[in-house]
A and B are shown apart, each in its own frame.
Chain A
Amino acid sequence: MTDTVDATLRALLADVLGLGEERAAALTGDSGLFGELPEFDSMAVATVLTEMEDRLGITIDDDEIDGEIFETYGHLLAFSQRKVAG
């Protein structure tokens, strides 16, 4: 399950940010996202959230989102895994 969430999340970021498979595969827990990748603007954040809901089968509430989640790939993955685990 953990691997599936990781793979889904990488594919999703590749789709939204146009990273290409290689850059998406090279993301580590410390890789910076919002504020680091120029493609990651507020529209991209919104698109990522909606796609996470669709592809991971979760619902994300407004107040669950803080800036920290999008700081690094590791934070986003941990958040996703928590949500999927319910």
Chain B
Amino acid sequence: MAEHQFRLAPAGAHRATVLLVPPLFDEANRLRRTLVLAMRALTADGFAAVLPDLPGQNESLVALEDVDLERWREALADIAASIVGPVIIAAIRGGALIDHRAKAAAWWRLAPVGGASLLRTMMRARVAADREAGILSSLDSLQEAARTAPLLLAGNALSPAMIAQLGTAEAQPVEPLRSVGLGADGIAGTPLWLRAEPGEDAAMAAAIAADIIAWSQTCGII
């Protein structure tokens, strides 16, 4: 079943399509406003922009505990294949762990992160929440429990396969790739994906769009 996609495009013909691969889990919510602002900036420059729901996320009818990173990679490959014209994949944070199966004319990554780091943070949140509730748990005991049954981490029911894959997932080589971080040499802005309470940053969104557009031109994509 096709998942919902949020797509923006200029009226009439458009240039290439930017397929945004959002950060994973809660980080996606924290960055969503800014990503959509970046999509608007892309369409103002003639690009189409697509922000898909991954299976098990947002409006998806699939249960999160039935998916893993492999399924997300396949889903993104299908979405990219369904797009007419050149595709630029723009992945943010954990999105970079699932962006390499899809075919594209160019890749762009912002602050890619290893799966182990994302998993560790979610496990720690669970340990901290357990402690507040008077339950004694540890990263080790959670890891053990996750071998055989879905584990609820920060509101996400993650399957044993998802947890095992996250534990070792790293961004894979793709070509041509521009990988940027935050700061003077990359995108000016703050790591909104870390924010306890979601914020938004229009200037950062504009910088994201401008960097993607410049990279697409460097790659000779019209």
Q: Which of A16, A42, A62, A67 contacts B129 (CB 8 A)?
A: A42
SS class, residues of chain A in contact with chain B: helix
- The residues of B that contact A36 with a CB separation of less than 8 Å are none
Residue on A nearest B122 in the bound complex, by CB: A46
- Kindly supply a per-residue 1/0 record for chain B positions 185-199, scoring 1 wherever the CB is within 8 Å of any chain A CB and 0 otherwise: 000001100111101
Contact, CB under 8 Å: A43 / B139: no
- Chain A: minimal CB distance from B127 (Å): 7
Which residues of A have CB within 8 Å of B125?
Answer: 42-43, 45-47
Q: For residue A63, which residue of chain B has the nearest CB?
A: B138
* Count of interface residues, chain A, beta-carbon cutoff 8 Å: 21
Closest to B199 in A: A18
A49 to B124 alpha-carbon distance, docked (Å): 8
Question: Are the C-beta atoms of B26 and A43 separated by less than 8 Å?
Answer: yes
Range of interface residues on chain B? 20 to 34
Whether A15 touches B26, Cβ cut-off 8 Å, given contacts A39-B197, A50-B121, A62-B138, is no
Alpha-carbon distance between A51 and B139 when the two chains are bound, in angstroms: 17
Q: Is A56 an interface residue (CB 8 A)?
A: no
| B190 & A15 in contact (Cβ 8 Å cutoff) | yes
Separation of A49 and B128 alpha carbons in the complex (Å) = 11
- CB-CB < 8 A to B124: which residues of A? 45-46, 49-50
Produce 1/0 per residue, B124-135, CB < 8 A to A: 110111011000
How far is B189's CA from A14's CA once the two chains are assembled, in angstroms?
13
Q: How far is the CA of A54 from the CA of B131 in the complex (A)?
A: 24
Residue on B with the closest CB to A40? B196
Residues of B at the A interface (CB closer than 8 Å) are 26, 117, 120-125, 127-129, 131-132, 138-140, 154, 190-191, 194-197, 199
Chain A interface residues toward B at CB < 8 A? 14-18, 39-47, 49-51, 54, 62-63, 67
